[in-house]
């Protein structure tokens, strides 16, 4: 038996209003695990993320290595999990270690210098694109949706359209 991962989501805001309400209700999770080396090593950020949890939902903020160990232990059996990530690199690290994910939801990756916008809420750089393409090659569905009621968009189709548009310029 393995962990019941109901949602794996990349959103660099991590726990915020939409996650706390819409996604937790939609997925029926009882635990949110923030998988981020950066957040796990920042005690104030970890505290604030745990405080942002909706009532009745436990929150853990851990690094990628600990998540891999937990996944293969029996500690998560019986838990209904939402995994939150800030970037596709951490998702890929888990998948390459054998963590079973079928779908990854991409909810928000903010623009910073060096990234290009592919939607009004998702910006990527070459490393993000490399990781997303490897995840897709491994058969993982990459869906773009901010909230559960949004129409699902295929991230790879968006990347391909953006590549085609870029090559014309």
Is the pLDDT confidence value at 60 over 70?
Answer: yes
- The neighbour count for residue 41, using CB atoms within 10 Å, is 11
User: Using 50, 70 and 90 to split pLDDT, how confident is the model at 81?
Assistant: very high
pLDDT for 2? 73
Decide: 7 and 101 in contact? Cβ < 8 Å: no
Is the pLDDT confidence value at 169 over 60?
Answer: no
The set of catalytic residues is 16
| Overall average pLDDT of the 63-80 stretch | 95
Question: What percentage of the chain carries pLDDT values higher than 90?
Answer: 83
Decide: 140 and 102 in contact? Cβ < 8 Å: yes
User: Comparing 28-32, 105-109, 161-165, which segment has the lowest mean pLDDT?
Assistant: 161-165
- The neighbour count for residue 127, using CB atoms within 10 Å, is 13
pLDDT for 167? 62
Task: Give the chain's mean pLDDT.
Answer: 93
147: β partners:
none
pLDDT for 168? 59
| Overall average pLDDT of the 54-77 stretch | 94
The position carrying tokens 């990756």 is 109
């Amino acid at each position: 038996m393995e962990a019941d991962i109901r949602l794996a989501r990349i959103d660099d805001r991590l726990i915020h209003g939409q996650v706390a309400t819409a996604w937790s209700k939609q997925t029926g999770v009882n635990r949110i695990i923030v998988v981020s080396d950066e957040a796990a090593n920042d005690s104030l950020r970890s505290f604030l993320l745990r405080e942002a949890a909706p009532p009745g939902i436990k929150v853990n903020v851990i690094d990628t290595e600990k998540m891999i160990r937990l996944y293969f232990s029996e500690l998560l059996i019986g838990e209904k999990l939402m995994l939150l990530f800030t970037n596709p690199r951490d998702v890929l690290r888990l998948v390459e270690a054998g963590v079973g994910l079928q779908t990854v939801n991409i909810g928000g990756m903010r623009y910073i210098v060096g990234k290009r916008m592919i939607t009004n809420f998702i910006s990527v750089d070459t490393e993000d694109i490399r990781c997303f393409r490897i995840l897709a090659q491994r058969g993982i569905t990459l869906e773009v949706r901010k909230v559960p009621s949004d129409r699902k968009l295929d991230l790879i189709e968006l990347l391909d359209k953006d590549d085609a548009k870029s090559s014309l310029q």
